[in-house]
Amino acid sequence: MFRLLSTTEHGKEILSECKAFVTEHLEKIHNCYNTIDGSFSKEEVGRIVLVDVCFLLEFFRRLVNSTEDCPKNDNMIFWSMRRDAALVENQLPLFAIKGLLDVTSQAQAQAQAQDDNSNMKNMCVNMMRLVRLTPDPPSQIPEDILTTDNCPHLLDLVRCCHLRIGTSNDDDVDVTEEDRFSLLDSSPRSIQLRSATQLSAAGVSFRKAEGVNLLALDFSDGVFRIPALVLHDSTETLMINLLAYGHLACNVTPDEADFFSSYVMVMMHLVQTRKDLALLERKGIIVNEMSSRADGPTIFRNVNKEVFLSVFKFKNLCDQIDAFANFSLRRYKMSFITSYLKSPWTVISLIAAGFLLCLTIIQTFYSIYSWHKKKT
């Protein structure tokens, strides 16, 4: 905070303006949190938000400023921030970030060239690059997402960019009360979906879908299209907190929460072993940036433990995939290809065996023919 305010000659005045902004919006800041411990007054909450937002602004200012020591060069700070920014308990109101950003950036613009993150859009882009759910985070944030009613916190920003309902191949299924309670079980028995390698062996092809909306799963003509997902050491924390936030936040509907929970369950079923992970990596669907690359399946299993599901939103999609994979002729064809055509040597052996079989049949035919001719 002191570093941020010391970049101008009028640090005390800027600090006073920041305090004035927070004081003016104490009620709104307080209302951005569902429950706050009674031991914290509104003034104390405002003071905490002021310090945390100023720290966040300075972090991002240095992150994009190549002329100074950049926090991304310090792995401990960068990775700690990546994890901490995703925690539900660390969420900061976006309107407070915007307000304090306006106050501080106006002062900085008088002393030096304006930084790339000196407006709210670029700030949001930088925040999305920090948490990262996809290999290529959004380069621009749509105007409708930046409205504070729809996006009060950073996790809302992630949710609105990557978990948008409306472009996915899913279903608004009418569910009976009995079915609803049966879907609360998130065990593998509740969903008919095989692992990625099993589906591949049954003839299902995997392709990377375009875009950053993770819910845009699609299956048609035997091709399962899945948006790219990046796995890093903070992905598990981010996903678990997105799940928790979906059930806690007042602005997130149960439908929206169920969509992400359903997505997690689909990925958990697809990625059950290291071979499944390697297959999706080859297809560009998963970008693995973990320090221990083999821990991918563990991430989805751990996140799936936190899933609470009312309605599984990809039921029809999974049924289509399962019906396609169950077609016996295609299954036998793929089994033959994977067993006998997986390498040049097996192909040569198969051709040689076929050639010998043909010679044996011809020899047998002429033997029978010559014997029959002698009899006549």
Q: Does residue 185 sit in the same domain as residue 304?
A: yes
Q: Give this prediction's pTM.
A: 0.74
Instruction: For residues 28 and 150, give the distance between their C-alpha atoms in angstroms, rounded to a whole number.
Output: 15
Q: Does residue 207 sit in the same domain as residue 97?
A: no
Q: Does residue 316 sit in the same domain as residue 191?
A: yes
158 falls within a domain: no
- Residue type (1 letter), 70: C
337 falls within a domain: no
Spatial contact of 170 and 217, defined as CB atoms under 8 Å apart:
yes
Q: Does residue 184 sit in the same domain as residue 100?
A: no
75 falls within a domain: yes
- Taking only the tens place, the pLDDT of each residue in 340-372 is 666 777 778 878 888 888 989 988 888 887 777
- Token pair recorded at residue 301: 């299993």
Q: Does residue 260 sit in the same domain as residue 203?
A: yes
Whole-number pLDDT of residue 187: 43
371 falls within a domain: yes
42 falls within a domain: yes
Whole-number pLDDT of residue 175: 42
Q: Mean pLDDT in each 10-residue stretch from start to end of the chain (376 residues)?
A: 57 80 85 67 84 84 57 64 84 85 67 50 79 80 65 81 62 42 44 88 90 90 93 90 82 81 91 92 92 82 83 89 76 64 75 87 83 70
43 falls within a domain: yes
Q: Does residue 15 sit in the same domain as residue 70?
A: yes
Whole-number pLDDT of residue 263: 92
Which residue, 68, 102, 130, sits at the end of a domain?
130
Of 21, 2, 5, which Cα lies nearest the Cα of 13? 5
149 falls within a domain: no
Q: Does residue 284 sit in the same domain as residue 364?
A: no
- Token pair recorded at residue 261: 């929970």
21 falls within a domain: yes
Q: Which domain holds residue 362?
A: 343-375
Instruction: Domain count for the chain, please give it.
Output: 3
Q: Does residue 302 sit in the same domain as residue 355?
A: no
Q: Does residue 358 sit in the same domain as residue 299?
A: no
Instruction: For residues 119 and 122, give the distance between their C-alpha atoms in angstroms, rounded to a whole number.
Output: 6
Whole-number pLDDT of residue 186: 42
Q: Does residue 312 sit in the same domain as residue 352?
A: no
Whole-number pLDDT of residue 160: 80
Spatial contact of 25 and 96, defined as CB atoms under 8 Å apart:
yes
Q: How many CB atoms lie within 10 A of CB 118?
A: 19
Which residue, 112, 130, 148, sits at the end of a domain?
130
Q: Does residue 34 sit in the same domain as residue 125?
A: yes
Q: How many CB atoms lie within 10 A of CB 113?
A: 9
Q: List CB contacts of 302: < 8 A, sequence separation 6 or more.
A: 236, 240
What DSSP character marks residue 113? P
Q: Does residue 198 sit in the same domain as residue 60?
A: no
